Amino acid sequence: MLPSALTSGGTPRSASGRGGRTAALALAAVALAAALASAGVRSAESSSGLLPDLVERRAVVEVLVKVVADPSAVRAATGAAIGPDAPAGTAGRAATSPPERWVVRGRALEVVGRGAAGGARGGLLLVGGRQVAELGRDQEVTVVGRLVPTEPGDDVVALLRVQGPLRAVRPPTGWRGGAAHLRAGLRTAVEPLPADPRGLLPGLVVGDTTALPADLEDAMRTAGLAHLTAVSGGNTAVLVAAAAGGAALLGARRLARAALAGAALTAFVAVAGPEPSVLRAGVMAAAALVGLLAARPGRGVPPLAAAVVVLVVLDPSTSRSVGFALSVLGTGALLLLARPWAAALGRVVPERAAVVVAVPLAAQAVCAPVLLLLDPRVSLVAVPANVLAAPAVAPATVLGVSALAVAPLSPALAHVLAVPAGW
């Protein structure tokens, strides 16, 4: 279906005849070859150098690490902080950690251990106490700890159990430093708010869940709302749509609106952090907007299919990510099901209400089989909860992003914007 979607106007059946089938098979072969070649290169890189041998020996090492994500708390009962994008087998190990354990993803740059030293390449998952929680994205630190192998095929080569103090080597610089400053400004703006909105708003805006209360996180997971604090195509689509809509109100033409939407998307990816989950969300949002601006619902399928191929080629481990699967399924539901379902519901309820109901209903319907693999319990409140939350998500996101943008210039104004966003 994916190759034919790439060669058609949006539905596999339109690629009829021998020519269409040949083109689809050729595209499938090219995509498969590219993904396999990329996976081979990644595998060769991760198995070369000093680090793999030290991982196999579970050595105590000193590593220069660049932090690539925000820290997450690990709760002993569930290990939920690891999330759906965690390396296989990691969640169970992290789940047994004490409550005050934190994890953060990093990229190894240099390693010293067992009397040898050298450059290193590969992802690491740092596991430690409160000092790990204080790490900032894009910061470079020297860490002493014990390496623990992960499962074959994971997108990190090892866990690094921190055993000593962390030493900061280099703070974020350039645009990365500016992005870190903006994120810190948002955290400052929400600091006076009650605990729930203080933890929820940064998660909604940039995926920062470091301050999210555990009971709220559990409640959101039960209600099927956990996706709101993970940077997703839905969040980015809201932001881009708001930018394009604002440009339209100012009288901008279609090309100018598209340019502004693209600039907003690029800026968001830079601030939220160009890590795989954020890049996927940006690509999914772009594909969704292309489809929604098209004349027919199926028109968005080719860009979505192309985005899937490109992302898997660039990072083969993406194909194993549950988060990626949910993102693609949700975007596909938005492109193919939301509009016709809204039209059907529009016969019995007002048009706007039909759209509000159809979007989460379609997403929940197509994502349910994957979610059941993660948790066999069926949430009967997921669709109603998403319907009730939908009207608040867009304004809260826009107000939160506005607070993020003005925080360096006026912390007081940022707080004023954050207050209604936290309602």
Q: Is the dihedral of CA 258, 263, 267, 269 positive or negative?
A: positive
Q: How far apart are the first and last CA of the chain?
A: 43
Q: Per residue of the chain (423 residues), what is the pLDDT tens digit?
A: 444 454 444 444 444 556 667 776 777 777 777 766 766 666 555 566 788 889 989 999 999 999 988 888 876 544 444 443 444 344 344 444 444 789 999 999 999 998 888 888 888 999 998 899 888 888 999 999 999 998 876 778 899 999 988 998 888 888 888 888 898 899 999 999 999 999 899 988 888 888 888 888 888 888 878 777 777 666 677 777 778 777 877 888 877 877 888 888 888 888 887 666 677 777 777 766 666 555 555 667 787 888 888 888 877 777 777 777 877 887 788 778 888 888 898 888 887 778 767 877 787 788 778 777 776 666 677 778 877 777 788 788 889 989 999 999 999 999 999 998 877
304 and 248, same domain (yes or no): yes
In a domain, 150, yes or no: yes
225 and 300, same domain (yes or no): yes
Residues 87 and 65: their CA atoms lie apart, in Å, by 18
39 and 56, same domain (yes or no): no
163 and 187, same domain (yes or no): no
Q: What is the pLDDT of residue 159?
A: 94
Measure the CA angle with vertex 358, ends 356 and 360; round to 5°: 80
Residues 313 and 39: their CA atoms lie apart, in Å, by 8
In this structure, are strands 60-67 and 101-113 parallel, antiparallel, or unpaired? Answer: antiparallel
Q: What is the pLDDT of residue 244?
A: 75
Coil/strand/helix, residue 307:
helix
244 and 357, same domain (yes or no): yes
Q: What is the pLDDT of residue 413?
A: 93
Amino acid at 375: D
Which tokens in the block code for residue 172? 């974020």
150 and 192, same domain (yes or no): no
The answer to whether 147 touches 158, Cβ cutoff 8 Å, is yes
Q: Which of 75, 86, 157 is nearest to 321 (CA)?
A: 86
What are the CB-based long-range contacts (under 8 Å, 24+) for 130-135? 130/100, 130/102, 131/162, 131/165, 131/166, 132/71, 132/102, 132/103, 132/104, 132/162, 132/166, 133/71, 133/73, 133/102, 133/210, 134/71, 135/67, 135/71, 135/104, 135/166
Which tokens in the block code for residue 181? 């400053």
Coil/strand/helix, residue 135:
coil
Q: What is the pLDDT of residue 276?
A: 66
Residue partners of 1: CB distance under 8 A and separation at least 6: 12
Domain of 337, in residue numbers: 182-421
Q: In sequence order, which ranges of 315-350 are alpha helices (DSSP H)?
A: 322-336, 338-345
In a domain, 194, yes or no: yes
108 and 73, same domain (yes or no): yes
pTM for the model: 0.69
Q: What is the pLDDT of residue 85?
A: 45
Q: What is the pLDDT of residue 87?
A: 42
> Domain count of the chain?
3
Q: What is the pLDDT of residue 96?
A: 40
Coil/strand/helix, residue 103:
strand
Q: Which of 139, 171, 203 is the last residue in one of the domains?
A: 171
Measure the CA angle with vertex 409, ends 404 and 411; round to 5°: 65
Please report where in the chains the tokens 């867009």 appear, as a residue.
394
In a domain, 409, yes or no: yes
In a domain, 91, yes or no: yes
Q: What is the pLDDT of residue 38?
A: 63
Residues 141 and 413: their CA atoms lie apart, in Å, by 34
Q: What is the pLDDT of residue 210?
A: 80
219 and 309, same domain (yes or no): yes
Q: Which of 278, 371, 328, 324 is nearest to 5 (CA)?
A: 328
Q: Which of 171, 197, 222 is the last residue in one of the domains?
A: 171
In a domain, 125, yes or no: yes
154 and 76, same domain (yes or no): yes
Measure the CA angle with vertex 252, ends 264 and 293; round to 5°: 65
In a domain, 208, yes or no: yes
Q: Give the H or E element holding residue 72.
A: strand 72-74
18 and 121, same domain (yes or no): no
121 and 203, same domain (yes or no): no
102: CATH: 2.40.50
Q: What is the pLDDT of residue 398?
A: 85
Residues 129 and 402: their CA atoms lie apart, in Å, by 33
Q: What is the pLDDT of residue 190?
A: 93
Q: What dihedral do alpha carbons 407, 411, 417, 418 form, nearest 10°?
A: 90
The answer to whether 190 touches 197, Cβ cutoff 8 Å, is yes
Q: What is the pLDDT of residue 333?
A: 82
Q: What is the pLDDT of residue 10?
A: 47
Number of residues written out for the chain: 423
Residues 251 and 256: their CA atoms lie apart, in Å, by 10
In a domain, 176, yes or no: no
Q: What is the pLDDT of residue 40?
A: 62
In a domain, 177, yes or no: no
151 and 227, same domain (yes or no): no
